[in-house]
Amino acid sequence: MSTQYAELLRGIRVEKGFSQSELAEKLSLSRASYIAVEQGKRELTLSECEKLSQVLGVPINDIERGEIPNYEKYKQMILLYLRMNKFLTKTKLAKLLYFADFAWYYNHLKSMSGMEYRKIQYGPVADTYFRLIDEMSDAGEINIKLTEEGAMHISETKAGKKYVVDQISKEESALMKKINNKWKGKRTAEIVSFTHKQMPYMFADDNEIVSYEVFGQENPDEIY
C-alpha cells in the first residue's frame, strides 16, 4: 500500500470523524493492525475493503485502485484556478481540473486529486464536480452568474479568498499555472473540442470512466 494512499485514508477517516480505534473496531481489526494500514505497512483484504467502503462512504473501486479521492484538495484546486482568473465558465473550469489531474498522472503515475473522470457530452468531468460547485456556492465561497448566452460564469468571493489552500504543492501549483496560461485566452468551445479528440475520451463509452492509463499515449505539451 502506497504512502500517499495511507495518507489519504487517514485524511478521510479524520474528515468523517472516526478515531483509529473506532474504525479498527468496525473493520474487526486490532488498533495496531489498523495503524499498520495507515502507515502503509499492511494491505487490506477484499472483505476489509468492502467494510471500509461502507463505513467511509467511499466507492470500493477507489479503495481497490489504491487512490482515494481527496475532496479537500480538489476543492482547493478549484479555488486556485479561480484565483488565476477573473472568472471561468463552469465547463472550462471542469476541463482545467481534468488537465491538471491527467497531466500530473503522466509524470507521476497518480493523479493530483485522486478523482475519476466520466465521459459526458462536454468532455471528462469528475462525478463530484457539480455537487462540490453547488456546495461552494451555498457556502458563499464562489459566485455563479448565468449570462444571457446561457453560460455559467464562476468567480471567487471574498469569503473564498480567505480559504487556505495548503494541500497543493509548489510543483503542482506550477503545473496548474502552466495549464491555465496555455488555455487562458481560449474559448470554452475550443477546450471542449480538444478534450473530445484526446484518446482517453475517445476510448471511453458514454458515461463510462475515462482511463488515466490511456493518457500515457498523449503528448502533455499540448495541454500545458
Question: Could you tell me the residue ranges of all domains in the chain?
Answer: 3-64, 71-222
Rounded CA-CA distance 38/187 in Å is: 44
Label residues 5-19 b or e (16+ Cβ within 10 Å = b): bbebbbbbbeeeebe
Rounded CA-CA distance 204/96 in Å is: 19
Contact status, residue 209 vs residue 101, Cβ threshold 8 Å:
no
Contact status, residue 49 vs residue 60, Cβ threshold 8 Å:
yes
pLDDT per residue of the chain (224 residues) written in tens, 0 to 9: 556 567 777 877 877 888 999 999 999 999 999 999 888 888 888 888 888 888 988 777 666 666 677 889 999 999 999 999 999 999 999 999 999 999 999 989 889 998 989 999 989 999 889 999 999 999 999 999 999 888 899 999 999 999 999 999 999 999 999 999 999 999 999 999 999 998 889 989 999 989 888 877 777 778 88
Taking CA atoms, 111 is separated from 116, 172, 187, in Å, by 9, 10, 25
- Predicted local distance difference test score (pLDDT) of residue 168: 97
Stated pTM of the model: 0.76
Q: Radius of gyration of the chain from Cα atoms?
A: 18
Assign a CATH topology to domain 71-222. Answer: Arc Repressor Mutant, subunit A (1.10.10)
Superfamily of domain 3-64: lambda repressor-like DNA-binding domains (1.10.260.40)
Closest by Cα among 117, 105, 86, 111 to 180: 86
- Predicted local distance difference test score (pLDDT) of residue 66: 61
